Structure 1
Amino acid sequence: MLRRLVFAVAVAAIAACGDPNTGVGIEVIDAHVVRVIETGDHEGAKYQRLAVQLDGSLYRGEVVELEWDGRRALNENGFLSPGDRVLLTLSRTGSTRTYTISEIVRLPSLWPFVVVLAAALIVVGRWKGLASLAGLGASIAVFLLAVLPAVRNGDDPLLATLVGSIGVLVVAVFVVHGFNRKSVAALLGTLGTLVLVVGLAAVAISVARITGLGTEDAIFVFVGTQGKVDMPRLVLAGVVVASLGALVDMAVGQASTAFELSAASELHGSRLYLSALNVGRDHIGSLVNTLALAYFGGALPLIVLVSLGFQPLSVSINSEEITQSILAVLIASIGLVLCVPLTTGIAVALVDRVKPMPATSI
């Protein structure tokens, strides 16, 4: 049953994406490299001259000679070899066809790592690991099938993301951890913290004058949707999504701690709350650090660029791109900290509802 559910979700997600080679006014054709004709360096810019065979379209099997110099630039790690798959862009001028190598087909190279992840989850986590895979697939499907189309159609990005996030939370908590009081405590703690995160992020984006147009990709989104997407609210939605995983982790950990401490001892009420809170304090430090490193790891090229000093440091560190990354780390970290006492309180309240108070001797 679980395998059928995962398969159905995967098929639905793929179908929702449509033809992957179809774009707005762009015709893309699958091809592969037959041989490398030349590899050279022109005034510091590396390039390759390749013989490429078309694998699609009416001209399937035709071999063309093309130059590959990367999307923006090229180094040795981007050099192609015979057998490598590429995507070609076709343009027509009258009866003349012109092909350009648009991109390398990279996704298949990631499948071995997907298999390793799935195997590790199943071997170590067993049924919980299998359930987590199903939860991951369902979470991705929620964003692909619900959130993304809504944002693309010009609906409120924040509202669409919040609705999708609730769906993701329900799947992530109940599918992986089962339907029980512990899961209910984790879900309520996460939702409560999420409300605080949205409020804090909205204030921060307003105060910091974040337009949502600080990157080239963001400008393409704005222009490509003819201004239908509210870019500041899209940034706000991004902060919510980025915080979600860490908040679920923290909430589930705190709920589990409270229930396990209660089961293993006679703790209840304020004593149980304080004991679970002490465990949460240890968890906070490691998760906040992990969150910050994940953000700054993704922004490492930008940080290196700033350190080179091509523009004044005062201008660089106040750029919208860097400010937005720092803002996301700060808001997510605040959310993690607040999640601990909130979820712990909810979990203790639910524990005390089912666990009778020990009798006190007079």
Structure 2
Amino acid sequence: MKKIKASLLWGILFLALVGFWAYENNRNSNFVRAVVLSTDNSDVMQSGIARIGSQELLLKVVDGKFKGQEVVGYNNLLGNLDIDAFYAPGDTVVAALREDHGKVVDAKAVDLYRQSWEFILFGFFVLLLIIYAGNTGLRAIFSFIASLWVIWKNLIPGLLAGENPLLLSSGILFVLSAIVIFSVAGFTRKGLSAFLGTVAGLFVTIGITAFFGDKLGLLGTTLPYSSTLLFSGNIGLNMKQIFFAAIVIGASGAAMDIGMDIASAMAEVKSKKPEIMCRELIQSGFNVGRAVIGTMTTTLLLAYSGGYLTLLMLFASQDTDFVRIINYRMVAAEILRTVAGSIGLVLIAPITAVIAGWIYSYNLEPLKSRVKSFLGKMQGIIRV
């Protein structure tokens, strides 16, 4: 109980620090929170559920250096339901302020303000994780934040700079696997087994993805916002390899999950039956792996299908022929994403079982004795 209370205190402190960082980061920004006081929709034309035109808004700024000021804002509607937002009095929005000599000239409504509820949702997740997992939950949160930081500060800038996507993502996944697995399992035999099995399986997945992606003639433009990215000054990017990298990154989370599941199960078997032989222990890992793989591959299918549920509904509503569906570029891309990721997961299970069986059965005492002896000799030399 004391450990849970301590973990909760650390979790609350962590959330407070995140909130303070967000406040300080946005305090002097021209992107501020504002409340819609009134709207003028006279220039908005509506056709069905789509709207085109410009919505004029009277906004009251509620944070930042212009807090309390009222400003006229504009909301441009393009008829695109994916990005358009239509506001009403009382809505809280993110507004981009335009200044001239220290005074606000006007503003542009960017989108609804969702940040508060996003922090509440994340805080709820953190608290549940800490209550259930305690210190392990805190380590999981650390790995979560560290992974976001590595992706945002290293992977994304590297891709934009034109570095080889597959090589870069391979290095990033190596680092992320180490951060996530060793943060949760520590520098133990279990952590080492899960790490080595995960990395081996991911590198095989990279090769399979690159080979079959090339044979399927996929160019990578099925990724969301890929065309927008290319035509916003990044025309030289290799979208094909970026797509391949995205497939492997998407499968890496499930890969770490399987590696940790098998390594943990085998560690538990070893702790309950220390005299178990290496071959028997590996066989136990195989048995666990078969059960895990049986559900994990379907998990990937459901996850990717959920992302394209509306596309599947469109095919069904138009009674599209199976040959047309299976050869459609976006469907082919999702088939590659699902199957290549599943192949990687299938391979990670036995690889991790073999590695863990050897590591758990290997006697480290002679090695520890040699290390202690070496350190003792070095200490004696230093003293002399």
Q: Is the 8 A contact 1:71 1:102 kept in 2?
A: no
The farther-off stretch of 217-226 and 204-213 is 217-226
Q: Is the 8 A contact 2:56 2:74 kept in 1?
A: yes
The whole-number CA distance in structure 2 between the counterparts of 1:223 and 1:249 is 37
Q: Percent identity?
A: 24
The whole-number CA distance in structure 1 between the counterparts of 2:332 and 2:106 is 42
Please say if 1:167 is aligned against 2:175: yes
SS in 1 for 2:60: strand
> Which of 354, 358, 362 does residue 363 from structure 2 map onto?
354
> Which of 233, 257, 278 does residue 249 from structure 1 map onto?
257
The whole-number CA distance in structure 1 between the counterparts of 2:211 and 2:115 is 38
Query: When the two structures are aligned, how many residues end up with a matched partner?
Result: 342
1:67 to partner: Cα distance: 5.5
TM-score, reference length from structure 1: 0.81
Q: Is the 8 A contact 1:284 1:337 kept in 2?
A: yes
1:42 to partner: Cα distance: 3.2
1:168 to partner: Cα distance: 0.8
Residues 210 and 337 of structure 1, relative CA distance in 2, 3 Å threshold:
same
**Equivalent in the alignment of 1:360:** none
**Equivalent in the alignment of 1:136:** 144
The whole-number CA distance in structure 1 between the counterparts of 2:245 and 2:126 is 29
The whole-number CA distance in structure 1 between the counterparts of 2:127 and 2:360 is 35
SS in 1 for 2:225: helix
Give 5+ residue unaligned stretches, structure 1: 357-362
Q: Is the 8 A contact 2:160 2:234 kept in 1?
A: no
Residues 144 and 113 of structure 1, relative CA distance in 2, 3 Å threshold:
same
CA displacement 1:30-80 (0-9 Å, x = unmatched): 5331245679983423667643335668898233264575872399x9654
The farther-off stretch of 55-64 and 263-272 is 55-64
Residues 159 and 80 of structure 1, relative CA distance in 2, 3 Å threshold:
farther
1:271 to partner: Cα distance: 1.8
Residues 192 and 21 of structure 1, relative CA distance in 2, 3 Å threshold:
farther
The whole-number CA distance in structure 1 between the counterparts of 2:78 and 2:120 is 25
Residues 253 and 174 of structure 1, relative CA distance in 2, 3 Å threshold:
same
Q: Where in structure 2 are the equivalents of 1:233-244 lying within 5 Å? A: 233-244=241-252
**Equivalent in the alignment of 1:344:** 353
**Equivalent in the alignment of 1:53:** 60
**Equivalent in the alignment of 1:122:** 130
Residues 234 and 273 of structure 1, relative CA distance in 2, 3 Å threshold:
same
Give 5+ residue unaligned stretches, structure 2: 1-6, 366-384
> Which of 104, 107, 114 does residue 112 from structure 2 map onto?
104
> Which of 163, 183, 197 does residue 189 from structure 1 map onto?
197
Q: Is the 8 A contact 1:45 1:74 kept in 2?
A: no
**Equivalent in the alignment of 2:34:** 31
The whole-number CA distance in structure 1 between the counterparts of 2:214 and 2:198 is 24
TM-score, reference length from structure 2: 0.77
The whole-number CA distance in structure 2 between the counterparts of 1:216 and 1:137 is 24
Q: Where in structure 2 are the equivalents of 1:36-115 lying within 5 Å? A: 42-45=46-49, 50-54=57-61, 61-64=69-72, 66=74, 72-73=80-81, 80-88=88-96, 100-115=108-123
> Which of 176, 184, 203 does residue 176 from structure 1 map onto?
184
Q: Is the 8 A contact 2:91 2:112 kept in 1?
A: no
Give the aligned CA root-mean-square deviation in angstroms.
3.8
Q: Is the 8 A contact 2:73 2:109 kept in 1?
A: no
1:151 to partner: Cα distance: 0.8
